[in-house]
Amino acid sequence: SFQTHKEEDNPQKTMEVNGLTPVPDSYDYDLIVIGGGSGGLAAAKEAAKYEKKVMVLDFVTPTPQGSSWGLGGTCVNVGCIPKKLMHQAALLGQALQDSRKFGWQFTEEVKHNWMTMTESVQNYIGSLNWGYRVTLRDTKVTYENAYGEFVGPHTIKATNKKGIEKLYTAERFIIATGERPRYLGIPGDKEYCISSDDLFSLPYCPGKTLVVGASYVALECAGFLAGLGLDVTVMVRSILLRGFDQDMANKIGEYMKEHGVSFIREFVPIKVEQVEEGTPGILKVTAKSTTGDQIIEGEYNTVLLAIGRDPCTRKIGLDKVGVNINEKTGKIPVNDEEQTNVPHIYAIGDILQGKLELTPVAIQAGRLLVQRLYAGATTKCDYVNVPTTVFTPLEYGACGYSEETAVEKFGEENIEVYHSHFWPLEWTVPSRDNNKCYAKIICNIQDNERVIGFHVLGPNAGEVTQGFAAAIKCGLTKEQLDSTIGIHPVCAEV
Amino acid sequence: GKNEYDLLVIGGGSGGLACAKEAAQFGRKVAVLDYVEPSPRGTTWGLGGTCVNVGCIPKKLMHQAALLGSALKDAQHYGWNIAQPVHHTWSVMAQSVQNYVKSLNWGHRVQLQDKKVKYFNIKGSFSDPHTVSGLTKAGKETVVTADNIVIATGGRPKYPTHVAGALEYGITSDDLFWLKESPGKTLPSFILYVSLECAGFLTGIGLDTTVMMRSIPLRGFDQAQMASLVTEHMESYGTKFLKRCFPTKVEKLKSNRLQVTWKNADLNTEETDSFDTVMWAVGRVPDTKTLNLETIGVKTNSETGKIIVDASEATSVPHIYAVGDITEGRPELTPTAIAAGKLLAQRLFGQSSELMDYDNVPTTVFTPLEYGCVGLSEEAAVQCHGSDNIEVYHAYYKPLEFTVAERDATQCYVKMVCLREREQRILGLHFIGPNAGEVIQGFALGIKCGATYPQLMKTVGIHPTCAEEVTKLRITKRSGLDATVTGC
């Protein structure tokens, strides 16, 4: 049912007078945000600051295994947050081993309890879900736990869990529906396999696990599962970490191999069958070689699919309002102001074509977009030199060009790569690897040896990389790097 | 020339070795003298200087041992089944650390050999501006002559000799790292960063530790907040503080414990307590006594005793230079000594004219909750530019890893001091939290590039880390708003 819009003197009239798009004056909301994740919530909260009437629609379609979660999107519920906490649990396992050499004494074998960890993590996530609901309420943003889809140029149909439908209208829309894990499309995948959507709330220890995929999601999950003491195998179709610097990707893989993760390279699963029911049960996986006819079989308690993510854009009525999407990938192309081909409809976050799938990028884009819409700002989101970190057992931080992309763009003779292995001081006493940690910078010789790529493999890579990203934003050159004094003794001084 | 060597370096520490090795790269004939006068307790060590033997390296390793103690407590929350409480054995840690340090001593000797730098384990003193002589351990007199001489003898801990019993019964950082047995119930005294770091890790490995401080903690560091946040955290961590107190005497009891008597300046009372160990950390003095500097005319600062040098590390005597902790007005840090030593060698023998830049040197205090900083403290910025011309952005944040571990993040804090005018250049950055050194290093680079607040705000954060909080700084002190970070 339509709701009449109260009379307000607002910029709409001014816009009309200035010859911009003629705007009816009876919308329910100034802005409806579809998707309550990192990007969506940031945009909604920002808009509320400018006293706009905002609604957020968030809905989680349960996974094939039945997992679901609360407000906050991927990052909070099934992404960055639980991932980093479980990674931390694995790191603590390593710390336990180290601590003996530093004088701490305890019984020989320490076991890990999956349920204790998962409960702690889920409790924390629950507090975040709650926190978001409170914040939305406090900032007077209307929140509905309902599935939103376009039914008209300015109209959204919202369907809640019970199937009740409501219609809402708005002057503008921001699509921030994010993505969900992809399935293989082979027999048994949806029935028996899990994805990252299920892993972080799994009510039983996954046991012997096969991780299918070579994305950062696959490697991070495989990494912490192994760190918690589980038997982990990763099945990779071709290369690791596509899109990342391959030199670094290989080092990450090597490290994981040396630390208990098995790899099956150049195979893809073709069938998953259940051998035994249970929590976990036993699954049989049949896989085929990508280079020949060889078939292999293996038995695992859990099969985790991490082969990629697909945008949630196919079933939200975009065709009804004429918003173009890339038919193949499902991603939405936008201009540099996050505007789709339909002027009053915008998009941010993981669903954007050609942009990075990162929480801070989505948040930045959402905030700046809203500031441009309602606060007269002109700053656009800067997608260049965005730093990132892969939280594998040996962490990898990067900012700027990979070595191969730099060579491609500038030519091998025009770039200089400086590199070094290093041995974190904290690894000396417990006799951990002395030639695995590594750092390299890529400089553009023709531009004053400007640093165009930064890569570091080692503990706390994220903490190390952040400051360097700021320096790269300031146009850091090799000379300036050389003249900066190191803090001693830390890894970052390398 | 007629001198035996192109370069003689007196002091085989961070600065000295860096200078010597760099000079050797240019094919020069180089010699290094290194000698460790045993501490009053008899502690001595090998080649490498303070950093390697009784400074940064063992300090950070013992700090790590303490951090691992916290990790063991956290681990339970993350699902690891460890029976609490877990006990720490000093001798296991000490041996591991000491073995590692010895491997570094060995490594330095091999390096010198590889680079064909001659090493003399003798205590040298000047006979004339180009001649240094000394006795080897065996008593043999050795004379070395050189065209250029670099003094890099560093410093040694001070004893409060006006306190009765201080010298006989107390130890210093020179001894702490080499103790074979646990220091037990320890009293480090006074507050310099050395003292806080030691008190911090001693508490972390389970020892009953008290810090006695006469006035302010972390003199020279940001007092507007950072120093007190660091000590506040230590108090909640378990370190005891005796504030505004100073010791008057130390006596040995029949039980072999030490009885310390002190005055409480606030209450105007005298108090006593007994300890197993008393460690003095009341400052360091430059090691110049036996060099015979007055004879050859090398000028020192009358108050500090440090050698006066110009921007090119030159002393008042031609061809005699000084680098590292011994030089007046320079930060007492390993990386600056190394950089200065290298640049000096490059200027002397490599046709370079590059001078050392001592501005914006980043540093970290490795207390239980680490404090990293670069640039100006808030009060220095105010003094320099006036409080109307600076803007201070700040935030209290909570590291993600603390959540599940249920750790207190009250003192986790970051602040950035900027100029207020158009560009908003960053003058100083201060960070308290885990891995502070790792966080600050990259930003120090940015500040070297003249980073401004808008540039930092354009930098996207890495999520989830602590460092990203720097890129999210929005609240100013001036606004008076609550600076606590809430959620994503």
- Which CATH number goes with the domain that contains B392? 3.30.390.30
Give pLDDT tens digits for A231-283: 999 999 999 999 899 999 999 999 999 999 999 999 999 999 999 999 899 99
Q: Quick one: A289 and A404 in the same domain? A: no
* Contacts of residue A71, Cβ cutoff 8 Å, sequence gap at least 6: A36, A41, A58, A129, A132, A133, A136, A143, A145
Is A2 inside any structural domain?
no
Q: Is the pLDDT of residue A10 over 80?
A: no
Picking from B318, B350, B382, the residue at the C-terminal end of a domain is B350
Is A174 inside any structural domain?
yes
Best of B460, B468, B470, B474 to disrupt the A interface (most A CBs within 10 Å) is B460
Contact (Cβ atoms closer than 8 angstroms) between residue B337 and residue B152: yes
A180 bridge partner residues: A310
Q: Quick one: B19 and B60 in the same domain? A: yes
Q: Is the pLDDT of residue B450 over 70?
A: yes
Q: Report the predicted TM-score, pTM, of the whole model to 2 decimal places.
A: 0.89
Q: What is the pLDDT of residue B221?
A: 82
Is B294 inside any structural domain?
yes
Q: What is the pLDDT of residue B263?
A: 92
Q: Quick one: A186 and A284 in the same domain? A: yes
Cα of B211 to nearest chain A Cα, Å: 24
User: ipTM score of the complex?
Assistant: 0.86
Quote the crossing angle between the two packed helices A38-49 and A114-138, to the nearest 10°: 30
Q: What is the pLDDT of residue B487?
A: 60
Q: Is the pLDDT of residue A17 over 80?
A: no
Peptide bond into A82 cis (omega under 30): no
Distance CA B161, CA B280 (A): 11
Q: Is the pLDDT of residue A6 over 70?
A: no
Distance from first CA to last CA of chain A, Å, rounded?
63
DSSP state for residue B412 in the 8-state scheme: -
Cα of A322 to nearest chain B Cα, Å: 32
By CA distance, what is A106's nearest residue in B? B86
Q: Is A259 noted as a catalytic residue in this protein? A: no
Is A493 inside any structural domain?
no
Query: What's the domain range around A212?
Result: 182-307
Q: Is A116 on the interface with B (CB under 8 A)?
A: yes
Q: Is the pLDDT of residue A13 over 70?
A: no
Q: Quick one: A271 and A127 in the same domain? A: no
Q: What is the pLDDT of residue A211?
A: 98
Q: Is B400 on the interface with A (CB under 8 A)?
A: yes
Total beta-carbon pairs less than 8 A apart between chain A and chain B: 293
Q: Is the pLDDT of residue B224 over 80?
A: no
DSSP state for residue B484 in the 8-state scheme: B
Query: Residues 260 to 319 of B: which have CB under 8 A from any A CB?
Result: none
Domains identified in chain A, total number? 3
Picking from A307, A324, A346, the residue at the C-terminal end of a domain is A307
Q: Quick one: A203 and A89 in the same domain? A: no
Q: What is the pLDDT of residue B488?
A: 53
Query: What's the domain range around B164?
Result: 158-282
Q: Quick one: B330 and B383 in the same domain? A: no
- CA A383, A384, A389: angle at the middle one, nearest 5? 85
Picking from B282, B299, B319, the residue at the C-terminal end of a domain is B282
Cβ pair A382:B89 closer than 8 A:
no
Q: Residue B453, by phi and psi: left (phi above 0), alpha (psi -120 to 50) or beta?
A: alpha
| Residue B227's pLDDT band (cuts 50, 70, 90) | confident
Q: What is the pLDDT of residue B84?
A: 79
Q: Is A494 on the interface with B (CB under 8 A)?
A: no
User: Could you tell me which residue, A429 or A437, shows the higher pLDDT?
Assistant: A437
Picking from B300, B318, B350, the residue at the C-terminal end of a domain is B350
Q: What is the pLDDT of residue B473?
A: 93
Give pLDDT tens digits for A346-369: 999 999 998 889 999 999 999 999
Query: Residues 426 to 455 of A: which have CB under 8 A from any B CB?
Result: 426, 428-429
Q: Is A382 on the interface with B (CB under 8 A)?
A: yes
Q: Using a CB-CB distance cutoff of 8 angstroms, which residues of chain A are in contact with residue B339?
A: 485
Cβ pair B463:A104 closer than 8 A:
no
Q: Quick one: B247 and B373 in the same domain? A: no
Q: What is the pLDDT of residue A307?
A: 96
- Which CATH number goes with the domain that contains B315? 3.50.50.60
Q: What is the pLDDT of residue B183?
A: 87
Q: Quick one: A277 and A413 in the same domain? A: no
Is A427 inside any structural domain?
yes
Picking from A325, A341, A375, the residue at the C-terminal end of a domain is A375
Name which of B357, B468, B488 is nearest A76 (Cβ-Cβ): B488
Q: Is B458 on the interface with A (CB under 8 A)?
A: yes
Cα→Cα distances B291→A277, B148, B295, B328, Å: 81, 16, 9, 17
Q: What is the pLDDT of residue A107?
A: 78
For range A214-228, the mean pLDDT: 96
Q: Is the pLDDT of residue A16 over 70?
A: no
Q: Is A473 on the interface with B (CB under 8 A)?
A: yes
Cα of A182 to nearest chain B Cα, Å: 23
For range B48-54, the mean pLDDT: 95
Q: Using a CB-CB distance cutoff of 8 angstroms, which residues of chain A are in contact with residue B51?
A: 488
Question: Active-site positions of B?
Answer: 463
| Residue A426's pLDDT band (cuts 50, 70, 90) | confident
Cα of B297 to nearest chain A Cα, Å: 32
Is A469 inside any structural domain?
yes
Cβ pair B92:A103 closer than 8 A:
yes
Q: Is A491 on the interface with B (CB under 8 A)?
A: yes
Is A22 inside any structural domain?
no
| Residue A152's pLDDT band (cuts 50, 70, 90) | very high
- Which CATH number goes with the domain that contains A156? 3.50.50.60
- Which CATH number goes with the domain that contains A449? 3.30.390.30
Give pLDDT tens digits for B360-404: 899 998 989 999 999 999 999 999 999 999 999 999 999 998 888
Q: What is the pLDDT of residue A3?
A: 37
Q: Using a CB-CB distance cutoff of 8 angstroms, which residues of chain B are in contact with residue A82?
A: none
Tokens of B356: 């050392």
Q: Quick one: A134 and A206 in the same domain? A: no
| Residue A414's pLDDT band (cuts 50, 70, 90) | very high
Domains identified in chain B, total number? 3
In this structure, is the dihedral angle defined by the CA atoms of residues B146, B147, B151 and B152, taken in order, positive or negative?
negative
Is B127 inside any structural domain?
yes
Q: Quick one: B326 and B252 in the same domain? A: no
Which parts of A are annotated binding residues for FAD? 84, 148, 350
